[in-house]
Amino acid sequence: MDVISIFQYSLVYNAFSFSFATMAAAALFLWLGRSQVSANYKTAVTISGLVCAIAAYHYLRIFESWETAYVVKNGVVITSGFAFNDAYRYVDWLLTVPLLLIELVLVMRLTREETISKSVRLGFAAALMIALGYPGEIASDIPTRALWGTLSAIPFLYIVWELFSGLGASIDRQPESVRNLVKKARLLTFASWGFYPIVYMAPYANISGADAETAIQIGYTIADLVAKAAVGVLVWVIAVRKSEAEALTA
């Protein structure tokens, strides 16, 4: 059926390999950098590292699955008969998206009850969003994809609204030295999270099998790198600055 070009095959192959290395490096960096933040922020930084470690593992599996799904023969790519497994990505999200939300809630530094209730509500909404998106992701026709995608967008909009209002309110309570960084973290989060549903809609744009597959894999990979590794490192910088500011006023 859909024969993928050697260029598309290599592009995705290299993107997965690069992502594995970046996620693994970010996890190590965050865990080692944990000693530079005060006790208040250690959990947030530990979780950031965990998100990148889980993603690194899944990128390794996604990479292997991509490699086994195709055979390169005389410069032509043919399918091997083993299907590429998209489920790794969704299982990864099922674990990492609630963790990322908890990381952001921790950065807001709310009361204990608020932290727990917000984490539970957001975690549940995230699981629902991903579970509803999966049947659409593996569907072969556009109407089915659109139906599940629309259902998945309902919990997605709820999450965006909760985060936007919650992070917005917490920005006013931040010390001067990190206010801009928290705004950047919020912007990066919204830009990357908003990118996933756009990538999901790639097949609507009348592009064929291999082109759509390449666009989706590259798109999700870029979004993952920003949402997990870049935001994770930014959260760490914010934690270091806040630890310094709090040590001065203590």
Ligand X SMILES: *C/C=C(C)/C=C/C=C(C)/C=C/C1=C(C)CCCC1(C)C
> Which residue, 62 or 227, is less far from ligand X as judged by CB?
227
The answer to whether 4 touches 70, Cβ cutoff 8 Å, is: yes
Stretch that binds ligand X, among 5-13, 114-122, 168-176, 192-200 (CB under 6 A): 192-200
Nearest distance, CB of residue 75 and ligand X, angstroms: 34
CA torsion sign, 190 to 196 to 202 to 205? negative
Complex with ligand X: residue 65 or 96, whichever CB lies closer: 96
Asked if 20 touches ligand X (CB under 6 A), the answer is no
Helices 112-137, 87-108: inter-axial angle, 10-degree rounding? 160
Q: Pick the binder of ligand X from 129, 216, 229, 239 (CB under 6 A).
A: 129
**Site membership for ligand X, residue 97 (CB under 6 A):** yes
8 A C-beta contact, residue 28 and residue 61 = no
Q: At closest approach, how far in Å is the CB of 193 from ligand X?
A: 5
Burial pattern 159-193, b for ≥16 Cβ within 10 A else e, equals beebbeebbeebbeebeeebeebbebbbeebeebb
Residues of this chain that bind ligand X (CB under 6 A) = 93, 96-97, 100, 129-130, 133, 149, 152-153, 156, 193, 196-197, 200, 224, 227-228
